[in-house]
Amino acid sequence: MSINIRWKYALSLVLFACALLTVSACSEEARPVKGFVLPEGDIAQGEQVFIDFNCHVCHTIPDVDFPAVEFTPPFVVPIGGEVYRVKNYGELLTAVVNPDHIISPKYIAMLERADREVIISPMPYYGEEMTVAELIDLVEFLHSNYTRLQPQYYRGYYLTK
């Protein structure tokens, strides 16, 4: 009898663990990629891809001049520049191929200031038109436009700019 109860107990524990796993697997919609390595891209070509795909209509990059645009969207999101944490290559690649995965906090702040709700990213999906070579160059170009700022410390205090 007592063995039976122990078995039931063990079984319910196993079932509970399985349920937990299932729930976490479901909520983890994205598939993180380990061992995903792309070859080095060409920064100058990447800048051209940025222009060819009209990324400059919705984005500015400090110190990079782009051709004038006819239409300016209500929210222009600056990318690149001096930041305390450089967006890593994988994050930039994800931002391009899967824009809805993480909506940029900068953009959310802009919309909140304008009393608008954020639901999806207005960024188009480029998977159909962009070649892999273009994507590699583009992400290399984006990555090259981030500079990491060193935090300044003063007598143990952390100073932000």
Write out the residues near ligand HEC by the rule CB under 6 A: 50, 53-55, 57-59, 73, 75, 77, 79, 92, 95-96, 99, 103-104, 106-107, 121-124, 126, 138, 142
Residue 150 and residue 103: Cα distance in Å, rounded?
26
The encoded tokens of residue 104 equal 């940029």
Give every CB contact of residue 45 below 8 A, 6+ residues apart in sequence.
134, 137, 141
Question: From the CB of 10, what's the least distance to ligand HEC, in Å?
Answer: 46
Bridge pairing between strands 146-148 and 157-159: unpaired
Question: From the CB of 58, what's the least distance to ligand HEC, in Å?
Answer: 3
Nearer to ligand HEC, 11 or 38 (CB): 38
Instruction: Supply φ then ψ for residue 80, to 5 degrees.
Output: 75, -165
Nearer to ligand HEC, 12 or 136 (CB): 136
Question: From the CB of 160, what's the least distance to ligand HEC, in Å?
Answer: 18
Nearer to ligand HEC, 43 or 77 (CB): 77
Nearer to ligand HEC, 10 or 100 (CB): 100
Question: From the CB of 122, what's the least distance to ligand HEC, in Å?
Answer: 5
Nearer to ligand HEC, 64 or 77 (CB): 77
CA distances from 57 to 3, 76, 97, 135 (A): 70, 8, 18, 18
Question: From the CB of 154, what's the least distance to ligand HEC, in Å?
Answer: 28
The encoded tokens of residue 19 equal 């349920």
Name the amino acid, one letter, at 147: T
